């Protein structure tokens, strides 16, 4: 009985695993094939990996796009973690009569679809450009700033802070640490796993972010990886082998960040303080 139950569990899990892994596998395999073979659905690795890669490097500014994406994602991640954790910490630790109202309003902002804010946001940045071109449209700042605080991340940090032992705060206060000192020297090191989970979530969404960068970035010099990939598929006769190698390259950083912090991510999602 137990054995057959186990068998079905494994069978079920295997099917799910195949379903989730197959697209990745196909992507990697296809990046080694010619475009014609990709469209034919060839499932064997080919010998065109280098040729595809060479063509990609020759026809696009791959390095620049990777660099732009890295710059935006890393800056966003660090800033977002700092701001959201400060906010989440503040919401949970400090006492105020209005904080729950403010927090609920903040959560409501999650309900507004980005498409509704897009045009006003663009207008805003276009007019900022006249005054301060450094943070107006077509700059890194214009991509980073709107995503640097998200209600979700603040919510996430507030929830995690609920499990943070308040006795540690008291101890810190008694020992004469300033409030910021408590945050940076007690809270931050204790909540490492929460930060790791937050970092993965923010990095991924920033790295993959498409619509807003598309609208606000204007020149080839500022193109990010998703924009580059989107452009590759624009031809009347797209080269699928080349597109897929670009996608593989575009996937590596997020995969890397995830595997690097996988343990912490799981711990962070399930509650960080042991």
Partner 1 sequence: MKKSFVLLLICMIMLTACGSNSNTKNNAEAGTTGAEKAKEITIWAWDPAFNIAALEVAKAKYAAANPDVKINIVEYAQSDIIQKLNTGLNSGTTKGLPNVVLIEDYRAQGFLQSYKDSFYDLSSSIKGADFADYKSGPTSLDGKQYGVPFDSGVTGLYVRTDYLEQAGYKLADLQDIDWKEYIEIGKKIKEKTGKALITLDPNDLGLIRTMIQSAGSWYLSEDGQTPDIASNVALKEAFEIYKEMMEADVANVHADWSQFVAALNSGDVASVPTGNWISPSITAEASQSGKWGIAPYPTLPGNDKSVHASNLGGSSWYVMNVDGKETAADFMATTFGSDSEMYQTLLTDIGVIGTFKAAASGEAYSQASEFFGGQKIVSDFAAWTEQIPSVNYGVHTYAIEDILIVEMQNYLNGKDIDKVLGDAQAQAESQIK
Among 14, 39, 54, 159, the residue binding partner 1 under the rule CB under 8 A is 39
Picking from 240, 241, 207, 211, the residue whose alpha carbon sits closest to that of residue 225 is 207
137 touches partner 1 (CB under 8 A): yes
Contact pattern for partner 1 over residues 95 through 124, marking x by CB under 8 A = -----------------------xxx-xx-
Tokens 């960080």 belong to residue:
272
21 touches partner 1 (CB under 8 A): no
165 touches partner 1 (CB under 8 A): no
Neighbours of 124 (CB within 10 A): 15
* Gap between the Cα atoms of 84 and 199, Å rounded: 11
Tokens 């449209």 belong to residue:
137
Pick 101 or 211: Cβ nearer partner 1 = 211
Count of residues that bind partner 1 according to CB under 8 A: 51
Residue 274 beta carbon to partner 1: minimum distance, rounded to whole angstroms? 15
Among 15, 17, 25, 126, the residue binding partner 1 under the rule CB under 8 A is 126
Q: Find the part of the chain contacting partner 1 (CB under 8 A) among 128-136, 145-153, 154-162, 174-182.
A: 128-136
Burial label, 181 (beta-carbon count in 10 A; 0-12, 13-18, 19+): middle
191 touches partner 1 (CB under 8 A): no
Residue 109 beta carbon to partner 1: minimum distance, rounded to whole angstroms? 21
* Gap between the Cα atoms of 60 and 243, Å rounded: 11
Q: Which residues contact 242 (CB under 8 A, 6 or more apart)?
A: 35, 52, 55, 56, 59, 232
Residue 217 beta carbon to partner 1: minimum distance, rounded to whole angstroms? 9
* Gap between the Cα atoms of 271 and 274, Å rounded: 8
Alpha carbon 244 to its chain's center: 21
Residues 210 and 226 sit within 8 Å (Cβ to Cβ): yes
54 touches partner 1 (CB under 8 A): no
Residues making contact with partner 1 (CB under 8 A): 35-36, 38-41, 59, 67, 70-71, 74-75, 78, 118-120, 122-123, 126-127, 129-130, 133-134, 136-140, 211, 214-216, 218-222, 227, 230-231, 233-238, 240, 260, 263-264
């Amino acid at each position: 009985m137990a054995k057959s139950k186990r068998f079905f569990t494994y069978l079920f899990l295997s099917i799910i695993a195949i379903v989730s892994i197959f697209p990745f596998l196909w992507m990697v395999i296809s990046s080694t094939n010619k475009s014609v073979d990709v469209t034919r659905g060839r499932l064997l690795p080919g010998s065109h990996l280098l040729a595809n890669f060479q063509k990609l490097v020759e026809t696009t500014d791959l390095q620049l796009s990777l660099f732009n994406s890295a710059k935006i994602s890393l800056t966003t991640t660090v800033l977002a973690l700092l701001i959201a954790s400060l906010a989440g910490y503040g919401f949970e630790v400090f006492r105020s009569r209005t904080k729950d109202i403010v927090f609920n309003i903040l959560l409501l902002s999650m309900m507004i679809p980005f498409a509704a804010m897009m045009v006003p946001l663009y207008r805003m940045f276009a007019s900022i450009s006249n005054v301060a071109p450094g943070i107006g449209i077509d700059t890194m700042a214009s991509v980073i700033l709107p995503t640097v605080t998200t209600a979700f991340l603040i919510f996430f940090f507030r929830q995690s802070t609920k499990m943070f032992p308040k006795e540690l705060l008291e101890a810190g206060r008694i020992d004469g640490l300033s409030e910021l000192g408590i945050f940076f020297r007690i809270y931050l090191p204790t909540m490492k796993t929460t930060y790791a989970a937050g970092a993965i979530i923010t990095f991924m969404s920033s790295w993959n972010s498409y619509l807003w960068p598309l609208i606000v970035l204007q020149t080839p010099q500022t193109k990010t990886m998703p924009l580059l990939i989107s452009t590759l598929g624009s031809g009347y006769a797209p080269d699928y082998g080349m597109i897929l190698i670009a996608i593989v390259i575009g996937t590596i950083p997020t995969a890397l960040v995830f595997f690097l912090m996988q343990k912490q991510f799981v711990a962070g999602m399930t509650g960080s303080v042991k």
